[in-house]
Amino acid sequence: MSFNWRERDDETVEYHFNPRLSVPDILELIQAHSEKSARVIELIGGNLDLRYGNRPKQTLDIHVARNESLGSPAPCLIFIHGGYWRMSDKKDVAFIAEPLTEDGVTVASINYDLCPDVNLDIIVEEIREAVVFLCKNAKKFSIDANRLFISGHSAGGHLTGMMLKQNWESHGLPSELFKGGIPLSPIFEPEVVMRTSINEDVRLTLDMARRNDVLSAPPLTSGEILSVAGALEPEGWRQQSLLYTDLCTKSGIKANYLEVPDCHHFSVLDAFANKSSTLYQKVFSIISG
What is the Cα–Cα distance from 288 to 265, expressed in whole angstroms? 26
pLDDT, average across residues 46-62: 98
pLDDT, average across residues 186-214: 98
Q: Which residues are CB-contacts of 67 (< 8 A; sequence separation ≥ 6)?
A: 102, 104
CA 243 to chain centre: 17
- pLDDT for position 148: 98
Residues belonging to the chain: 289
pLDDT, average across residues 232-259: 97
**Virtual CA dihedral for 93, 94, 100, 101, nearest 10 degrees?**
170
pLDDT band with cut points at 50, 70 and 90 for residue 287:
very high
Domain coverage including residue 22: 5-288
Backbone φ and ψ of 226, nearest 5°: -125, 110
Is the Cα dihedral 120, 147, 226, 175 positive or negative? positive
pLDDT per residue as tens digits for the range 136-177: 999 999 999 999 999 999 999 999 999 999 999 999 999 999
37 pLDDT more than 80: yes
What is the Cα–Cα distance from 83 to 102, expressed in whole angstroms? 27
How far lies 260's CA from each of 18, 175, 203, 254, 263, in Å?
A: 19, 31, 31, 19, 6
Indicate the angle between helix axes 10-17 and 235-250, nearest 10 degrees: 70
What 3-state class would DSSP assign to 205? coil
Buried (b) or exposed (e) across 98-133, using 16+ Cβ within 10 A?
Answer: bbbbebbbbbbbbbbbbbeebbbeebbebbbbbbbb
pLDDT above 70: percentage of residues in the chain: 100
Count of beta carbons in the 10 Å neighbourhood of residue 194: 16
26 pLDDT more than 90: no
- pLDDT for position 19: 92
pLDDT per residue as tens digits for the range 172-197: 999 999 999 999 999 999 999 999 99
pLDDT per residue as tens digits for the range 78-102: 999 999 999 999 999 999 999 999 9
How far lies 117's CA from each of 56, 73, 83, 199, 203, in Å?
A: 10, 37, 14, 13, 10
Q: Which residues are CB-contacts of 4 (< 8 A; sequence separation ≥ 6)?
A: none
pLDDT band with cut points at 50, 70 and 90 for residue 24:
confident
| Residues 184 and 151: beta-carbon distance below 8 Å | yes
Number of domains forming the structure of the chain? 1
Task: Supply the DSSP string of 71-120, one letter for each residue.
Answer: -SSEEEEEEE--STTTS--GGGGGGGHHHHHHTT-EEEEE----TTTS-H
pLDDT per residue as tens digits for the range 123-137: 999 999 999 999 999
The pLDDT mean for the chain works out to 97
1 pLDDT more than 80: no
CATH number (domain holding residue 107): 3.40.50.1820
pLDDT, average across residues 5-10: 94
